[in-house]
Chain A
Amino acid sequence: MRPDLTQPITMDTFLRGIWRENPVFVALLGMCPVLAVTNTATNSLAMGVSTLFVLVCSNMLISMLRHFIPKQVRIATYIVIIATFVTMVDYILQAVSPTVYAALGAFIQLIVVNCIILGRAESYASKNPVLSTAVNSVGMGLGFTLALLMLGSVRELFGMGSLFGVSIFGDSFQPWLVMILPPGGFFVLGAWLLLFAWWRERNVRKAVVEEAVHAR
């Protein structure tokens, strides 16, 4: 068995998933639901929370069993565990809110193949104790939810003139239909990535200038 590379739980364990290693904006993982269900903010939130639930539960279970699972069958075991929790979410969501379930459609079941969850299982949960896995997974899940919301709100705001179903711009607003259509998903995510790249570039340039000023 692999040794535990136990790291102390710090604020960073939690925060890195939200910002520095954000699964969507930095690692470009789990793109399918990111683009497919973010046509409204409500759908984005439901998808984010469902993924968060599966991510945290399955990774905690995997972390609990980490000394017990032989390396040779680990991927198969992980997938079975993840599929179990996804099936549970599928039924729970059907019972709690059929409207949201209808809107998300098959994408709830497709959480199984969301690379974020398997990636976390392989790179974190299989090596770390339960508590630190839980903290890290919650961070990652929140980062994912945040990214979905950032996409979903922009698309709903421009595509329908509303946010969480509440009209913002009033009736005179002519919606940009392309935003809630498939191409809008690509455009909005691309725009966010460009914005972040520009922001990073500016920070780097600022740091360089400051260094030059200090050097004088």
Chain B
Amino acid sequence: MTQYIIRRLIYSIFIIWGCATIVFFMLRLVPGDPVSAMLGIEYTPQAAAQLRKNLGLDKPIYVQYVTWMGDVLHGDLGKSIDTRQPVTDQIVSAFPKTLSITILGFIFGAVVAVPMGLLAALKRDSVFDWVASISTFIGISLPTFWFGIVFILIFAVEFRWFPSVGYVSPSDGIWPWFKHLILPGLAAGVGEAAILMRFVRAGLLEVLGSDYVRTARAKGLPERRVIMSHAMRNSMIPVVTVAGLSLAGLLGGLVITETVFAISGIGRLLTTAIFAKDYPIVQGVILLITLFFVMANLIVDILYTFLDPRIRYG
């Protein structure tokens, strides 16, 4: 197992390097010029040339690549072209916000999805199952921003229970922090809940029809034990797979939620940088997201061994 993890970690280095390299060159193939975006209406060819020189963008691409890679290996992700602030600082500032929403959204999603999926599977074709299925379709079909705006209109504008925009650091108080996260967390959690519930229900239904569950029941085990100890555990494999990937996906995929709630997280940082052609920021954030995906995959694979002792890695 240890050898397997070490091997996977080594592979991960190549995956991350490959992604970083592809992103580096693809960014420069996309039409548009960061300097023209920066200068906006103050653009003049002279000002643009000077700025390009100051930023090192006048050098050949391969020189820029080698320089950047060298810096990354030394732990330096460079500075934003637009704001000239260190990329690391901007990521460090944005990351806790996105992570907070991600975790809260995931918790909201899991708290709703697991029991609902379980009940829907156990009461298959009942009214509850039918209602739960419709709910999941709605949760998956409606966009996150719609839920966000509806939550804001109800809970912020109408009742004024929670703030409609912004983020407060936990260092300024746990309750203010949590209060600012409830609505974005809920908005992000709706889609998560819907997807997870489908997998919990489907996974459990499949397992409940399998031979070993029938055997367990035939042995006279209480139904509760059959479900919780035998069926649930095995049905969790696809759920864990989806949960792991969506958790990692949330990290870069919360841009809509972050925009609606005016929270300057990783998603907004990335999309703003993409539109502005702020190469160092895009490269730095993609590195982070790649790292998360790779780690999430690894953790999911390791979790399989706990859920199903038959799975072995060597």
Q: Do A and B bind? A: no
